[in-house]
Amino acid sequence: MSDCLFCKIIKGEIPANKIFEDEDVFAFHDIDAQAPHHFLVIPKEHISTINDAKDPTLIGKLTLTASKIAKDLGFAGDGYRVVMNCNENGGQTVYHIHLHCLGGRALTWPPG
Ligand code: AMP
Ligand code: ZN
């Protein structure tokens, strides 16, 4: 998708604070962190919303990549949250699916 912000980040057309990349996924720090640790894991394939996702292996890999990064960054043991927002009621603002991973502080529940 030529006009997709996250596709442009994957291609290096827009700078991002990259954490990890392989053939399937790309992870980078959120530009507006809501916790001491807040990064996003996205598929390299453009998928607009989780409603459009078809590949369970790819969706699972987003979660396992977040877990690995949380371990590498040293906050996995204390705990963290992973979340994917979907469409308007879910609060999605960028229509290329992304898994948020937030940690480094106690998070409240339920979310707003
Ligand atoms: P959502 O509201 O679930 O669609 O989340 C979109 C997330 O992308 C927000 O947390 C934004 O802060 C984040 N974001 C938007 N633009 C950028 C960017 N250029 N680099 C890093 N994160 C971004
Ligand atoms: Zn995209």
With 80 as the cut, is the pLDDT of residue 1 above it? no
Is any atom of ligand 1 closer than 6 Å to the C-beta of 94? yes
> Which residue has the CA at smallest separation from atom 15 of ligand 1?
31
To the question of domain 5-103 being in CATH 3.40.50.1240, the answer is no
pLDDT one-digit tens code per residue, 42-84 = 999 999 999 999 999 999 999 999 999 999 999 999 999 999 9
Rg of the chain (C-alpha set): 13
Of the residues 37, 38, 96, 98, only one is catalytic, namely 98
Is any atom of ligand 1 closer than 6 Å to the C-beta of 91? yes
pLDDT at 53: 98
CA distance 54 to 60: 11
User: Taking the mean position of all CA atoms in its chain, how far away is CA 106?
Assistant: 19
SS percent in the chain: helix, strand, coil, step 5: 30, 20, 50
For the chain, which residues make up each domain, given as ranges? 5-103
CA distance 92 to 57: 22
Secondary structure E strands in 15-95: 18-21, 25-29, 37-43, 80-83
Is any atom of ligand 1 closer than 6 Å to the C-beta of 88? no
pTM, whole model, 2 decimals? 0.98
Residue 38 catalytic?
A: no
pLDDT at 112: 82
What DSSP element (H or E) covers 66? Answer: helix 56-73
